[in-house]
């Protein structure tokens, strides 16, 4: 969304006062970051938050309403929805961050290559165009079908689907910077290609990539849920928000509470990731930030 060319940012050391000022000026980062931190804590400390084994099935106590022992009720296999939702946090965060990291790193590498090497550009961008033209969900379903269901494969499938967009973004930045005087000067001064990239190009991709990364992260969490809905997601034995929702969605009228709790968690998480992304965009993109 912020595929605009950026002016080279000055790599100044962030003084403490400056950080504080930024935070005050960007409440979105603070709010989004805080919620996200809380959710990350839930993920890490899930075993200590009054949970039981989230995989433990016991058909005798199936479909219980939320009550004292089962805060979020139990599902159709008698599993505790509270424990499953809390453990599910781990999956969603891992999928979101994993997919974002993979897509960003992959996109960065491909973007740099396509931006600098002309013959590779032609080939790689055709492949990227092709990938981009396959709807992400279909691509992920197909990828999940050839491999076994696992969190790792969910991450890879989502990252591959997101890859073209990130690549385009980086390529755009590289192309616009390549013609800039300071890059040309560096090249003229005999700086090697690799050095030019590291010193001059890379720093300038950080800001747009960070912002794009948060969007990839948010949409990866949603895609995980949708993949589970279609039956091509995280293996159902592992509780993820998507799994819990999609298993219970077919009995929505009977056990709506099973769907609602993970759904609320998912919405809040996605919301806070997006807030963080918006905040970072505002902070990192001076052109927009000036007007806020």
Partner 1 sequence: MFAYIVRRLLATIPVMGVVALFVFALLHLTPGDPAVLIAGELATDADIAAIRAKLGLDQPFHIQLATWLWSLARGDLGISIFTNLPVTRLIEQRLEPTLMLTLTTLIVSIVIALPLGIISAWKAGTWIDTAVMSFAVFGFSVPVFVLGFVLILVFSLQLDWFPVQGYTSISEGFLPFLANITLPSVALGMIYAALIARITRASMLDVLAQDYIRTADAKGLATFDVLIRHGLKNAAVPIVTVIGIGIALLISGVVVTETVFAIPGLGRLTVDAIVKRDYPIVQGMVLLFSAVYVFINLLVDLSYTLLDPRIRY
Partner 2 sequence: MNLFAKALLGTAAVMALGIGGATEATAQQKTLRFIPQADLKLLDPIWTTQYIVRNHGYLVYDTLFATNSKFEVKPQMVDTFEVSADKKLYTFKLRDGLKFHDGQPVTSADVVPSIQRWGKKDSLGILIFTKVVAMKAVDPKTFTIELSEPFPLLLEGLGKVSSNVPFIMPERLAKTDPNEQVKEIIGSGPFKFAANEWVPGSKAVYIKNTDYVPRKEPADWATGGKVVKVDRVEWLIIPDSATASAALEKGEVDWWEQPPSDFWDRLAKINGVKVIQSDPLGNIGVFRMNHLHPPFDNPKMREAMLYVVDQADYIQSMVGDLKNGKLCYSYFGCGVPMETDAGAEPMKGKRDLAKAKQLIKESGYDGRKILVMSPTDQPVIDRQTLMTHEYLKQLGLNIEYIATDWGTVGSRRAKKDPVDKGGWNIFHTWTLVLDQMTPPANLQVSGAGDKAWFGWPKNEKLEQLRNVDWVKATSVDEQKKIAAEISKEAYKTLPFIVTGQFYPKTAHRTNITGVPVSPVVFFWGVDKN
Residue 249 interacts with partner 2 (CB under 8 A): yes or no: yes
Contacting partner 2 (CB under 8 A), which of 4, 34, 67, 250?
250
Contacting partner 2 (CB under 8 A), which of 27, 47, 130, 231?
231
Residue 133 interacts with partner 1 (CB under 8 A): yes or no: yes
Our CB check for partner 1 shows the closer of 136 and 173 to be: 136
Q: Which of residues 209-248 bind partner 1 (CB under 8 A)?
A: 218, 222, 225-226, 229-231, 242, 245-246
Q: Smallest distance from the beta carbon of 136 to partner 1, in angstroms? A: 5
Q: Smallest distance from the beta carbon of 206 to partner 1, in angstroms? A: 21
Residue 73 interacts with partner 2 (CB under 8 A): yes or no: no
Q: Which does 251 bind (CB under 5 to 8 A by kind): partner 1, partner 2, none?
A: partner 2
Distance between CA 197 and CA 193 in Å, rounded?
Answer: 6
Our CB check for partner 2 shows the closer of 11 and 237 to be: 237
Our CB check for partner 1 shows the closer of 146 and 237 to be: 146
Q: Smallest distance from the beta carbon of 68 to partner 2, in angstroms? A: 22
Q: Which of residues 259-288 bind partner 1 (CB under 8 A)?
A: 259, 263, 266-267, 269-271, 274-275, 278, 288
Our CB check for partner 1 shows the closer of 204 and 269 to be: 269
**What is the residue-wise DSSP string for the chain?**
---S--PPPP-----HHHHHHHHHH-HHHHHHHHHHHHHHHHHHTGGGSS---TT---GGG-SPPS-SSSTT-B-TT--BHHHHHHHHHHHHHHHHHHHHHHHHHHHHHHHHHHHH-HHHHHHHHHHHHHHHHS-HHHHHHHHHHHS---HHHHHHHHHHHHHHHHHHHHHHHHHHHHTSHHHHHHHHTT--HHHHIIIIIHHHHHHHHHHHHHHHHHHHHHHHHHHHHHT-SS-TTS--HHHHHHHHHTTTTT-HHHHHHHHHHHHHHHHHHHHHHHHHHHHH-HHHHTT-
Q: Which does 76 bind (CB under 5 to 8 A by kind): partner 1, partner 2, none?
A: partner 2
Measure CA 184 to chain center. Answer: 35
Q: In the complex, which residues of this chain contact partner 2 (CB under 8 A)?
A: 55-60, 62-63, 76-78, 145, 148-149, 231-232, 235-237, 249-255
């Amino acid at each position: 969304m912020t595929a605009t060319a950026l002016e080279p940012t000055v790599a100044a050391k962030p003084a403490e006062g400056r950080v504080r000022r930024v935070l005050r000026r960007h409440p979105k980062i603070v709010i989004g970051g805080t919620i996200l931190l809380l959710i990350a804590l839930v993920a890490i400390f899930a075993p200590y938050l009054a949970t039981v084994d989230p995989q433990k099935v016991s058909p005798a106590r199936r479909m219980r309403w939320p009550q004292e022992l089962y805060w979020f009720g139990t599902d159709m296999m008698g599993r505790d929805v509270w424990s499953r939702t809390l453990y599910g946090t781990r999956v969603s965060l891992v999928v979101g961050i994993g997919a974002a990291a993979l897509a960003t790193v992959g996109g960065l590498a491909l973007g740099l290559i396509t931006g600098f090497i002309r013959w590779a550009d032609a080939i790689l961008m055709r492949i990227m165009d092709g990938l981009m033209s396959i709807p992400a969900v279909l691509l992920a379903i197909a990828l999940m079908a050839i491999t076994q269901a696992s969190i790792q494969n969910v991450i890879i499938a989502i990252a591959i689907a997101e890859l073209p967009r990130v690549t385009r973004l980086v390529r755009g930045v590289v192309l616009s910077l390549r013609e800039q005087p300071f890059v040309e000067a560096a090249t003229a001064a005999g700086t090697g290609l690799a050095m030019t990239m590291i010193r001059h190009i890379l720093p300038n991709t950080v800001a747009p990539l960070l912002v794009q990364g948060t969007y990839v992260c948010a949409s990866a969490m949603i895609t995980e849920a949708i993949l589970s809905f279609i039956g091509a997601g995280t293996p159902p034995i592992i509780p993820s928000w998507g799994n819990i929702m999609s298993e219970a969605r077919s009995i929505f009228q009977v056990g709506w509470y099973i769907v609602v709790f993970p759904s609320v968690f998912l919405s809040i998480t996605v919301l806070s990731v997006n807030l963080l992304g918006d905040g970072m965009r505002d902070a990192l993109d001076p052109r927009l930030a000036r007007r806020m």
